[in-house]
Amino acid sequence: DVKVTQSSRYLVKRTGEKVFLECVQDMDHENMFWYRQDPGLGLRLIYFSYDVKMKEKGDIPEGYSVSREKKERFSLILESASTNQTSMYLCASSAPYEQYFGPGTRLTVT
């Protein structure tokens, strides 16, 4: 079974803090993704990576950065957290015709 794990299920941070969200997959997939899920807006792509050290901006990259130093790990970084970044964050990795999602991290910024 493909497994995608995320470092935290729930996270509470203060405005201005630097936040790291970690994602690890165990199936040697090349492509990995970070999405943000908000009610009424569905999933929106923040960044994706198609290889180690390669990254591309998605639809809403502002305020975020990413790091992929190893194939199995894809990190999302909030350089200076703001309240409008309170959301559910979903990581995914993909094989042909299927993306596999982690359980999500619910981040609250106060």
Partner 1 sequence: GNSVTQMEGPVTLSEEAFLTINCTYTATGYPSLFWYVQYPGEGLQLLLKATKADDKGSNKGFEATYRKETTSFHLEKGSVQVSDSAVYFCALSPRGFGNEKLTFGTGTRLTIIP
Q: Which residues bind partner 1 (CB under 8 A)?
A: 4, 29, 31, 33, 35, 40-45, 48, 58, 90, 92, 94-104
Q: Which is nearer to partner 1, 17 or 38 (CB)?
A: 38
The C-alpha atoms of residue 1 and residue 61 are separated, in whole angstroms, by: 31
Residue with tokens 């990795």: 93
Task: For strands 73-78 and 64-70, give the pairing.
Answer: antiparallel
How far apart are CB 39 and partner 1 at their closest, in Å?
8
> 15 or 33: whose CB is closer to partner 1?
33
Longest dimension (CA), the chain: 39
Q: Which is nearer to partner 1, 17 or 54 (CB)?
A: 54
